[in-house]
Amino acid sequence: MVTNPRKTSKDPGRVTGRPVSGTAMTQKAPCPMLLLLLLLTVTWLMVVAQDGKYKEFKNKHLDYPKTKAKNNRQYCNTMRQRRRLPCRPTNTFIHVNEARMKYICRSGKRISKDTRESLRAYPVTDCIRARKGSSTQCRYRGKSSKRRIRVTCKNGVPIHYVQI
C-alpha cells in the first residue's frame, strides 16, 4: 500500500500516512480496441496514399492502347491537355496495360531497393518540349520507340517512372 504524504495543519513539519486509493496511482493500459482502430486507420491512410501515387503514375505515364493522333507531335500535345499535365521538359507515355506494369514491379530486374527494370522492351512515346516559352505556349514534339522501362515500385505497383 502506498501512502500519501500530507502535512497536517497543527504541525507543518509532520507528515501523516494516509493510504491512497489504488485507482489514483495505477495507470490503465490503453484500450486494445482503441489501439486496433488506430493501427487500422494508419494502415488505411498508407493504402490510400499509395493508391493516389499509383493513379498519378497512370495519369502521367500510361496510355494503353495508344491514343490515336495524326503524328507524335499532335499526340503529345493532346495528351498533355487531356490529362492536365504541367508543362515539363519531358514526359514519357508507356503503351502497355496495367498488368504488365505491375509485372515489372514483381519480376523486373532489381536496380535498387524499390526500382525495377523491365526484362523486355516496350513501346513508349517520349514527349519533349519543343521550345522554351510561357506555359501557355507549351508545345511538344514526340518520338516513338521501344525500350526497357525502369520504375520505382511500392506494394507491387509502379509509382514513379525513372528515365534511363
Confidence (pTM): 0.69
| Res 148 pLDDT > 90 | yes
The pLDDT score that the predictor gives to residue 112 is: 95
Q: List the grid coordinates of 50.
A: 499509395
DSSP characters over 63-101: -SSPPP-SSHHHHHHHHHHHTT----SEEEEE-S-HHHH
Which CATH architecture group holds 32-162? Roll (3.10)
Give per-residue pLDDT as tens, 35-67: 666 666 555 445 544 578 999 999 999 999 999
User: Which carries the bigger pLDDT value, residue 69 or residue 34?
Assistant: 69
User: Which carries the bigger pLDDT value, residue 78 or residue 52?
Assistant: 78
Out of 58, 60, 61, 116, the active site residue is: 61
| Res 81 pLDDT > 60 | yes
Is residue 95 annotated as a catalytic residue, yes or no? Answer: no
Looking at 29-43, 64-78, 108-122, which range is the least confident one?
A: 29-43
Cβ contact 120:137 at 8 Å: no
- Report the C-alpha gap between 93 and 111 in whole angstroms: 21
- Mean pLDDT taken over the chain: 83
Is residue 160 annotated as a catalytic residue, yes or no? Answer: yes
Q: One-letter amino acid identity for 135?
A: S
The pLDDT score that the predictor gives to residue 26 is: 59
The torsion angles phi and psi of 13, rounded to 5 degrees, stand at -95, -10
Out of 102, 141, 147, 160, the active site residue is: 160
